[in-house]
Chain A
């Protein structure tokens, strides 16, 4: 159907980027940015309009998701190990879900992609060039929407939802502050900076998601309609 894709780097052995049709749409953003809500809306909207859709996200692979979850509970992984473990999780979904779906001309909606993984690793001191090589296996998406929300607003949204802040989303492993509230703000600020750094190499469509859900939805639908009309 549509034009083919390209890989950021070497790609995947024995996979030709020319064979990848479909659309790969990524929604990035912190917890509390409205990512999941927006993706749920997009799936319903796309499927209702007759588009075959597939969803992927982080830590959802058959291969390593359980082990990764277990390792994180004990917080025993050091940064390189964690980076590679997440990369394995991504690669497993890439080869088993994303690539076959694109080959069949599906729309793939990714609830976060390599950029969150890279940003997290960068905040933990991993080298950007190393990460770019590692994630050279990834195909370039047709669109990356980054839902940008101020850390202060993220705190409010997370607390109103679950009355707690997530250990990892607060970057507690980094020892930024013993106070979880402070750590969350510092960590989310650092993540925002890492995304800005990544934006120099990768193209993000930054969406102001401090607004109400409905208005973000309208923006996303409009942009995706335009993308699909391009063919």
Chain B
């Protein structure tokens, strides 16, 4: 699998992976804030967020209609939609694209659900590999506590209840997450994950993340040449303001 750089895309894609509660979303959010402040062309994309596919996915989840196969395919559809309509054009235009979860989430989850690894990987083979994949590795207990403290009601698929691991959603969630973690760890070498110790305090992780990103990617190449154009409403106000100013200046003259 070639990276975007190897496939001659002007843009670069950075992905974060990890269990729920590993703190990866916080880290990629902070990374985004930093890159934006640096004046870099950056776009953020989240797993399972395509508007088109969302209603089908949520219906499937709510009504528990999904099997391992349709679960896998509907997420692949969602990814393809974001990939073809957002990621590829942005990467062609020289953006840094940040992905909160990428195809490895599917590789880990779908295989845990019983889908054949070759089949899942084949379905996603239209996608290039990230230029940098950071895997946030927290102790299983730490991840579990973060999730279970914050959100006491676990959803059916989130808890892996479809796998019939346990009748208790909490027990099921623990076993399920443990299996996903095993899948991730088995992929680490193959897909060049950079492992970030997610047991560390968030600030310290962010220092490591920013250092890693600036070492791996020549960031100045991704700066906007001009500042972003103002949205029309603001632009009008500015024009009015500067006209008023002109009048004032006329008076003084």
With A71-B52, A130-B125 given, is the CB distance from A88 to B114 under 8 Å? no
How close is B74's CB to chain A, nearest CB, in angstroms? 5
Question: Complex: how many Å from CA A87 to CA B52?
Answer: 16
B80 pairs with A78, CB closer than 8 A: yes
- Taking CB atoms, residues of chain B closer than 8 Å to A228 are none
Tell yes or no: A12 within 8 A of B by CB.
yes
A63 pairs with B70, CB closer than 8 A: yes
Per the 8 Å Cβ criterion, residues 20-58 of B in contact with A are 52-53, 55-56
- Taking CB atoms, residues of chain A closer than 8 Å to B67 are 12, 91, 95
A81 pairs with B122, CB closer than 8 A: no
Q: In the complex, how many residues of chain A place their beta carbon closer than 8 angstroms to a beta carbon of chain B?
A: 32
- Taking CB atoms, residues of chain B closer than 8 Å to A95 are 67, 69-70
- Taking CB atoms, residues of chain B closer than 8 Å to A91 are 67, 69-70, 73
- Taking CB atoms, residues of chain A closer than 8 Å to B125 are 130
A81 pairs with B77, CB closer than 8 A: yes
In the complex, which residue of chain B has the Cβ closest to the Cβ of A85?
Answer: B77
The residue that A78 contacts in the complex, of B84, B118, B119, with Cβ under 8 A, is B84
In the complex, which residue of chain A has the Cβ closest to the Cβ of B113?
Answer: A13
How close is A58's CB to chain B, nearest CB, in angstroms? 15
B122 pairs with A134, CB closer than 8 A: yes
Residues 125-155 of chain A, each 1 if its beta carbon lies under 8 Å from chain B, else 0: 0000010011011000000000000000000
In the complex, which residue of chain A has the Cβ closest to the Cβ of B115?
Answer: A13
What secondary structure prevails in chain B residues at the interface with A?
Answer: helix
With A10-B116, A10-B118, A85-B53 given, is the CB distance from A130 to B77 under 8 Å? no
With A78-B85, A84-B76, A95-B70 given, is the CB distance from A62 to B65 under 8 Å? yes
Question: Complex: how many Å from CA A14 to CA B113?
Answer: 10
- Taking CB atoms, residues of chain A closer than 8 Å to B114 are 13-14
| Interface residue range, chain B | 20 to 34
Question: Complex: how many Å from CA A92 to CA B70?
Answer: 6
Tell yes or no: B170 within 8 A of A by CB.
no
Tell yes or no: A77 within 8 A of B by CB.
yes
How close is B95's CB to chain A, nearest CB, in angstroms? 18
A76 pairs with B52, CB closer than 8 A: yes
A137 pairs with B69, CB closer than 8 A: yes
Question: Complex: how many Å from CA A12 to CA B66?
Answer: 13
Question: Complex: how many Å from CA A84 to CA B73?
Answer: 6
- Taking CB atoms, residues of chain A closer than 8 Å to B126 are 80, 130
With A63-B65, A67-B55 given, is the CB distance from A87 to B80 under 8 Å? no
Tell yes or no: B123 within 8 A of A by CB.
yes
- Taking CB atoms, residues of chain B closer than 8 Å to A94 are 69
A64 pairs with B74, CB closer than 8 A: yes
Per the 8 Å Cβ criterion, residues 44-63 of A in contact with B are 62-63
In the complex, which residue of chain B has the Cβ closest to the Cβ of A136?
Answer: B119
B70 pairs with A88, CB closer than 8 A: yes
Tell yes or no: A175 within 8 A of B by CB.
no
How close is B71's CB to chain A, nearest CB, in angstroms? 10
Tell yes or no: B94 within 8 A of A by CB.
no
Tell yes or no: B2 within 8 A of A by CB.
no
Tell yes or no: B83 within 8 A of A by CB.
yes
A88 pairs with B84, CB closer than 8 A: no
26 interchain pairs (CB within 8 A)?
Answer: A9-B119, A13-B114, A13-B115, A14-B68, A14-B114, A63-B56, A63-B59, A66-B56, A67-B53, A67-B55, A68-B56, A79-B84, A80-B126, A81-B53, A84-B73, A84-B76, A84-B77, A87-B73, A87-B77, A88-B56, A88-B70, A88-B77, A95-B67, A130-B126, A134-B123, A137-B69
Q: Lowest 9 A-B CB distances belong to which pairs?
A: A13-B114, A133-B122, A78-B84, A84-B77, A88-B73, A10-B116, A67-B56, A80-B80, A81-B80
